[in-house]
A and B are shown apart, each in its own frame.
Chain A
Amino acid sequence: MLSYIAKRLAMAIPTLLIVITASFFLMRVAPGGPFDGERQLPPEIEANLMAAYHLDEPLPMQYLRYMGNLLQGDFGPSFKYKDFSVTDLIAQGFPVSLELGGLAIALALLLGIPMGVMAALKRNTTVDYLLMGTALGGIAVPNFVIAPLMALFFGVMLGWLPVGGWNGGALPNLVLPVVALAIQQIAYIARMMRASMIEVLGSHFIRTARAKGLNERQVIWRHALRPAMLPVLSYLGPAIAGIITGSVVIEQIFGLPGIGRYFVQGALNRDYTLVMGTVVFYGILIVLMNLIVDLLYSLFDPQIRYDD
């Protein structure tokens, strides 16, 4: 198991290297630079700025400088947010994104799995149609539509919840963004859970379990649930990626200080170091998450073993 983890981590290094190199050069290929804006700077001032950020050096030199700094854990200064280094910005923003994303995933699992199971057990009844109809709605309506509507309804009209802001992560401020972020995932998980539950319930070992005279509750809880959850588990990787990209929008709409918005703003501002910082950080995060999901697999499916 340990050597498997070590092998996977070693394999992650070339992946990350490709991600970093590709984003570094793609970012520079994009037209427009960090100091292009509505008003053009006098040439001498632009020259001063370029020199201050080493942008006047040849590109390969800049790349080597960046990689050298990165190896020492230094993401460099942000071009736009001049009072902070990229490391500062990520360190300040990540706990927010983590709390938001973690709660959204938790909520998606907590609601999605029971909804799917329920729909599978009551297949082709009103309950099933109602649950799956709702889920379809959740998939069809994107979160950038749902989120402002929820803010308008619960925040402005009813005044039950704050319209936005972080407020140190207070529960009332979390409700709307977490729900908005989770809705799509709840829907996916519910549909996936329903499909796989139906498949498992029709399999031979369930028939055997029933033939042994186990009651329905035992059949479901002890025999069906675990194998039925495998597809959901493998979906967690993409789900986390979905939550991360979703948080880019949600953080913007609710004005939350996470790192998702740095992604967009960094790219629009041509804040090279900030974009690179978030790319590298997310890259590492996704590689790690995929590894964790794969390891969890062995817990759920006895056929999967990560032997040496």
Chain B
Amino acid sequence: MPSIRPLVSAIALASSLIAASPALADTLRVAIMGEPASLDPHQVSGVWENDVVGDLFEGLVTEDAHVQRIPGVAESWDISDDGRTYTFHLRQDAKWSDGEPLTAEDFVFSWRRLLDPNTAANYAYLLYPIKGAEAINKGEADVDTLGVRAIDAHTLEVTLTHATPYFLDQLSHYTAYPLPEHVLKEYGRDWIRQGHLVSNGAFKLDQWRSQNRIEASKNEYFHDADNVSLDEIIYYPIEDRNAALNRFRGGEVDIAREFPTQQYQWLKDNLPDETHVAPYLGIYYMALNSREGHPTSDVRVREALNLATRRDVISNNILKIGTIPAWSIVPEGINDYELQEMPGHDMSADERMARAKELLADAGYGPNKPLNLVATYNTDDDHRKVMVALAAMWKPLGINLDLRNAEVAVHYQNMRQGDFDIGRAGWIGDYNDPQNFLSLFETGVPNNYGAYSNAEFDQLMDQAAGTLDMTQRAHVMESAEHVMLADFGALPLYYYVSRNLVSTHLNGWEDNIEDIHRSRWISIEK
């Protein structure tokens, strides 16, 4: 008989490892949707990293609780008449979390680094409006040629290739955050390690245990530190939405970013005050393959599919998570933009169905020649439900859907290769501007899965890019979207909603269309 002593001592050892967790006065505990790929703003491309990185750093421009753009590191700015030169006046008291002064040079340094091909930053293209940026990122020009210049320690001049009305919005994005040149010079790639990482936001990094927790505490050098209420934040990366919900219910986290859709009804009934669902800057759509040889390259087929889709049924009866049926690509609530809608949206369901039948017959499909379509989606319960619903809705028209699912990486590779007729896609806006959505349909852009192409649309988008007046620019883009919708260039299904669980003892949380919530605005009710 072997001794069980080692086992007993193993258990004793384990129980002796009990660690008391520090309980600071005002600690916010947030379940974020996954492990950050990095805390280096240049290496990040996901949504949940924004929660952490956006608390640690601050750009020239930043967001208030309602995500209105407000001055960040820059106190004020001047824009030249041609809209191509921006002069930012930085706060005199701007400091890093180690007390070092933050200067215009830090911005020059970090934007050059972002665009340096060796940095291999996913989101470098967001700063392409800056003169020379694209050429640098392609390795065709030296980083010194970037149109960014420190006039003095507190004045930064930025020159753009052409006027870019959404440029200020982009500056609040994490790609445009300043990085501490003095720290990067000292530690190189290791600057991001805990103990080295220095930031300029309302909070500073204390500890990062991979896949476990990230701890940040209030940055006393932050320019608005007096108005930051929280002492500490702990972010828990939790991929499993049900686990996040359970931990919220167990009182272990104060905020859960995103909850499982299947639980929405239960949450509405049992935790109505904690459950936050709000319109979100995103569109869920089906890419329709316009490449030659695909039935969906025929505009009549695309129109028929669009007309025969009961979007209200998908949102209200199938998904039931408060999503808003969509007849356009640009969601409602975007700055200066008037919602466009596809032709046929105001017809009754029966009228639409009848018209769809006519269109398909016209295109040569009917009882003797059924329309067979390949529909692909990335593996997910909700996507499957939507696809099955579409198959059922289109069945009466004699359409047979061949449903094919694959994991995300494979699905998008198939989409890029044009290996589909109907393909599930979604787009979350990088910034609050219609251009960010409509550019998905410009000829030849990487994310134009369906290879939609229309010269008039492209021309209008070019025209919008050169229009300085925001209202006029919005009108041009409205016309562009109108063209695309009349072409039935895609099959929009619904506008996304954000889904958060927020404890009722928190103040300062505001639902907003970008679903950005900086912790500096949050306080804990005593």
Write the residues of chain A forming the contact surface with B, with a CB cutoff of 8 angstroms: 30-33, 35-45, 48-49, 51-52, 80-84, 88-89, 92-93, 99, 102-103, 106, 109-110, 148, 151-152, 155-156, 159, 162-172, 174, 221, 225-226, 252-258, 261-262, 265, 268-270, 299
Residues of B contacting A102 in the complex (Cβ-Cβ under 8 angstroms): 10
CB distance from B113 to the nearest CB of A (A): 13
**Given known A225-B1, A226-B1, A255-B240, contact A156–B250 (CB-CB < 8 A):** yes
Stretch in B86-94, B116-124, B332-340 with 4+ CB within 8 Å of A: B116-124
**Given known A40-B447, A268-B409, contact A156–B249 (CB-CB < 8 A):** yes
6 A-B Cβ contacts within 8 A? A36-B416, A92-B209, A103-B11, A148-B242, A162-B250, A255-B238
B252 touches A165 (CB 8 A): yes
**Given known A156-B249, A169-B19, contact A82–B209 (CB-CB < 8 A):** no
**Given known A49-B120, A81-B38, contact A43–B446 (CB-CB < 8 A):** yes
A109 touches B38 (CB 8 A): no
Q: Does B236 contact A (CB under 8 A)?
A: yes
Residues of A contacting B237 in the complex (Cβ-Cβ under 8 angstroms): 255
Q: Which listed residue, A31, A92, A165, A221, touches B410 by the CB 8 Å rule? A: A31
**Given known A162-B250, A163-B250, contact A45–B1 (CB-CB < 8 A):** no
A261 touches B211 (CB 8 A): yes
Residues of A contacting B139 in the complex (Cβ-Cβ under 8 angstroms): 44, 48
Residues of B contacting A148 in the complex (Cβ-Cβ under 8 angstroms): 242-243, 246
Q: In whole angstroms, what is the CA distance A45 to B210 when docked?
A: 27
Considering only CB atoms and an 8 Å cut-off, how many residues of chain B contact the other chain? 66
Q: Using a CB-CB cutoff of 8 Å, which residues 9-49 of chain B contact chain A?
A: 10-11, 14-15, 17-19, 21, 35, 37-40, 43, 45
B211 touches A93 (CB 8 A): yes
Most buried by A among B117, B120, B247: B120
A106 touches B40 (CB 8 A): no
A-B contact number at CB 8 A: 185
**Given known A83-B40, A168-B19, A261-B211, contact A42–B413 (CB-CB < 8 A):** no
**Given known A43-B446, A103-B11, A164-B252, contact A93–B210 (CB-CB < 8 A):** yes
A163 touches B249 (CB 8 A): yes
Residues of A contacting B412 in the complex (Cβ-Cβ under 8 angstroms): 32, 36-38, 40
Q: In whole angstroms, what is the CA distance A172 to B250 when docked?
A: 14
Q: Does B7 contact A (CB under 8 A)?
A: yes
Q: In whole angstroms, what is the CA distance A106 to B238 when docked?
A: 28
A106 touches B7 (CB 8 A): yes
CB distance from B522 to the nearest CB of A (A): 21
Q: In whole angstroms, what is the CA distance A232 to B186 when docked?
A: 56
Residues of A contacting B45 in the complex (Cβ-Cβ under 8 angstroms): 37
A168 touches B17 (CB 8 A): yes
Residues of B contacting A262 in the complex (Cβ-Cβ under 8 angstroms): 211
Q: Does B125 contact A (CB under 8 A)?
A: yes
Q: In whole angstroms, what is the CA distance A93 to B122 when docked?
A: 27
Known: A38-B426, A257-B210. 17 other contacts (CB 8 A): A32-B409, A36-B413, A40-B446, A48-B121, A49-B120, A49-B122, A52-B120, A83-B38, A83-B192, A92-B211, A93-B210, A162-B250, A163-B246, A165-B212, A226-B1, A253-B243, A299-B2
A32 touches B407 (CB 8 A): yes
CB distance from A1 to the nearest CB of B (A): 18
B210 touches A89 (CB 8 A): yes
Q: In whole angstroms, what is the CA distance A38 to B4 when docked?
A: 52
CB distance from B379 to the nearest CB of A (A): 10
Q: Does B526 contact A (CB under 8 A)?
A: no
CB-nearest residue of chain B to A89:
B210
Q: Does B506 contact A (CB under 8 A)?
A: no
Residues of B contacting A82 in the complex (Cβ-Cβ under 8 angstroms): 37-38, 40, 43
A252 touches B7 (CB 8 A): no
Q: In whole angstroms, what is the CA distance A41 to B10 when docked?
A: 49
**Given known A163-B252, A167-B21, contact A253–B240 (CB-CB < 8 A):** yes
B246 touches A103 (CB 8 A): no
A254 touches B243 (CB 8 A): yes
Most buried by A among B40, B208, B212: B212
